[in-house]
Amino acid sequence: MHELNNGIMKTEKIKLGDITLLFFENPKLDIFPLNVNGGKYLLIIPSVYPEDSKYFNEGKQVIRKGNLNERQKVILDLLFSMISMRVGVDENNQLYYEDQNGNKYTPSEVPLSFNVISSIFIPLLVLETPSLIFLKNPEAYLHPSQQVYLATILPVVAKMGYHLIISSNSDIFCITLAQFVVQKPKKRDIKKFFKAIHVGEEGIEEVVKMVVEAVQNIKIKVYEMKIDGRMKELKIEKLLSEGVPVITEVTDALLGWALHLAMKRVVKQQSF
């Protein structure tokens, strides 16, 4: 059992899964937990410009030196499958992207999402397993299809021995993750889905195989942090039937408010 402490309040003790989804009832609570029972972990906040991150820079050194172990090779293969480019580090310790024709591009010459995705995967190169990782809003800056694909391959990361605690405000990301864990789709179904959303064009065969294996026994816990620090555990199936709680609450309020305005306008028009 683990207790999260975000500097404002301590929560009830919770049991972590291989992947733990964490939602916040109130945005004022969304100061990401700074310790877990005093233990150490890696906090990854996706960034367009991740050069200030210690672990990102150490990960670049791993790439530059080469001689990667199997875990590190898989991590870079997952990254490649998302952006269809290989990453490298030049003699000036600058990250670059290389396409299949050998053309090299700086981080400023590729889509911003490529840098964001790199900021998630490259720090993993320096972390041995098992390790605890907080991943805050991994969907940031990503196209919906990229969010879906990221949610699909994170179980592969967890299967390596990384315990992921993910804070997300994306219903697309969370529901995709829930669908794969609950439905446990077969290889053919996954490939058909990826083709429909135009993702996973490179290295897809091996990635799909890893996803199928990963979702078979992955353990996921889902919690909503209440305003008083209570941790309400949610069944992952509930995300599929009712949606992400914090998102549905705001959406319902918005729709109710919009309907109220529309009715007022109709009444006003009928009075003339």
Contacts of 40 (CB under 8 A, 6+ apart): 132
The total of other beta-carbon atoms located within 10 Å of residue 137's CB is 17
Helix H or strand E segment including 220: strand 220-225
Closest CA to 185 of 157, 222, 148: 148
Q: What mean pLDDT is predicted for residues 75-100?
A: 94
Among 77-91, 113-127, 174-188, 238-252, which stretch is predicted with the lowest mean pLDDT?
238-252
pLDDT at 31: 58
The per-residue b/e assignment along 141-174, b for 16 or more CB within 10 angstroms, e otherwise, is bbeeebbbbbbbbbbbbbbbebbbbbbbbbbbbb
DSSP structural state of residue 92? T
Report pLDDT digits (tens) over 27-37: 766 655 555 55
Residue 40's pLDDT is what? 55
Q: What is the pLDDT of residues 125-148, one digit of tens each?
A: 998 888 888 899 999 999 999 999
User: Which pTM does this prediction carry?
Assistant: 0.88
